[in-house]
């Protein structure tokens, strides 16, 4: 019996593997679309600037006057400062969640071969609450795991950062379901995911060298690269949620 014209009698299995090629893919996009990715980076980095201002205000308005008046700082003030720093870090990464959704949306556009736009970079802003919850769950696990010899934190980061891509694909997905989806997708190669997360975390921090301004361009790479890795594991290497490979018709 002759096969229908569009049916492939020998479909190739989808190759799902985590490769470091996604780093080069992200850098290529950064060079070509640095303005749009810079907008996404500004949204991600804005909470960092707010935290820096808050910490400097606490130091100059509270700690310095206390030190000048009495010599040594009271213990409660030192503890208070540490608490402020801890919650400040959590606030930064929670508030950066919507920005990471925008970065993931850009990564999705890269794979779909769509033009990258500023609207995509701002895609997470209308979903500020679920995006912030996802960011908090993601980084709180990284922070807690980092206190346990770092490895659990890297594993959690590698397994859950794909949640931003899951939310970019499905706009109705909640933060909790996105985390579960990312865990399920990345779990088969969790150690490679942890190693990639470690490498990408260092890459995303390189912008500090350029007087922090460079963070606007390097911080987005964290969710872009991990998002591309999520797509490789979910849909196959080089693919997205939309089939890009055209199967030729079978000759009659």
DSSP string, 115-146: PP-HHHHTTTGGGHHHHHHHHHHHHHHHHHHH
Give the phi and the psi of residue 123 in degrees, each rounded to 5.
-65, -25
Residue 6 in domain: no
Q: Decide if 147 is inside a domain.
A: yes
- The verdict on residue 243 lying in a domain is no
Q: Which of 119, 109, 128, 132 is nearest to 228 (CA)?
A: 109
Tokens of 144: 């807690």
Mean pLDDT, all residues of the chain: 88
Say if 240 falls within a structural domain: no
Number of independent structural domains in the chain: 1
In-domain check, residue 133 = yes
- In a domain, residue 142? The reply is yes
**Residue 82 is part of which domain span?**
21-234
Q: How far apart are CA 218 and CA 214, in angstroms?
A: 6
Burial class (CB in 10 A: 0-12, 13-18, 19+), 22: buried
pTM score, two decimals?
0.85
In a domain, 108, yes or no: yes
Q: What is the rounded distance in angstroms from the CA atom of residue 19 to the CA atom of residue 14?
A: 15
Report the share of the chain in percent with pLDDT over 90.
64
Inter-residue contact 54 to 90 (CB < 8 Å): no
CA atoms within 13 A of residue 141's CA, in its CB half-sphere: 16
User: Can you give the pLDDT at residue 22?
Assistant: 97
Residues 133, 179: contact at Cβ < 8 Å? no
Mean pLDDT across 206-234: 89
Residue 62 CB contacts under 8 Å (≥ 6 apart), including other chains: 77
Q: What is the mean pLDDT of residues 88-111?
A: 95
Q: Any idea which of 30-39, 123-132, 147-156, 200-209 has the lowest mean pLDDT?
A: 200-209
> Taking Cα atoms as reference points, which of 200, 174, 171, 188 lies closest to residue 234?
188
Most confident of the ranges 72-76, 153-157, 237-241: 153-157
Dihedral through CA 76, CA 82, CA 83, CA 86, nearest 10? 180
Measure the CA–CA gap between 106 and 228, rounded to whole angstroms.
10
Residue 187 has pLDDT above 50, yes or no: yes
Residue 178 lies in a domain: yes
């Amino acid at each position: 019996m002759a096969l229908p014209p569009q049916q492939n009698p020998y479909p190739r299995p989808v190759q799902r593997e985590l490769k470091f090629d996604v780093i080069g893919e992200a850098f290529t996009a950064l060079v070509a679309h640095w303005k749009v990715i810079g907008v996404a980076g500004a949204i991600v980095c804005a909470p960092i600037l707010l935290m820096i201002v808050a910490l400097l205000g606490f130091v100059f308005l509270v700690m310095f006057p206390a030190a000048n008046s009495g010599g040594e700082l009271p213990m409660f003030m030192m503890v208070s400062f540490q608490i402020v720093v801890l919650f400040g870090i959590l606030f930064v990464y929670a508030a950066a969640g919507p920005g990471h959704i925008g970065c993931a949306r850009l990564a999705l556009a890269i794979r779909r071969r769509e033009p990258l736009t500023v609207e995509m970079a701002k895609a997470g802003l209308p979903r500020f609450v679920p995006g912030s919850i996802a960011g908090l769950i993601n980084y709180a696990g990284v922070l807690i795991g980092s206190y346990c010899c770092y490895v659990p934190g890297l594993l959690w980061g590698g397994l859950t950062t794909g949640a931003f891509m899951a939310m970019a694909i499905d706009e109705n997905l909640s933060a909790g379901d996105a985390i579960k989806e990312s865990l399920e997708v990345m779990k088969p190669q969790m150690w490679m995911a942890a190693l990639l997360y470690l490498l990408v975390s260092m890459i995303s921090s390189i912008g500090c060298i350029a007087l922090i301004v460079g963070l606007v361009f390097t911080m987005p790479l964290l969710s872009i690269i991990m998002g591309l890795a999520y797509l490789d594991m979910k849909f196959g290497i080089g693919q997205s949620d939309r089939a890009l490979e055209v199967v030729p018709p079978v000759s009659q």
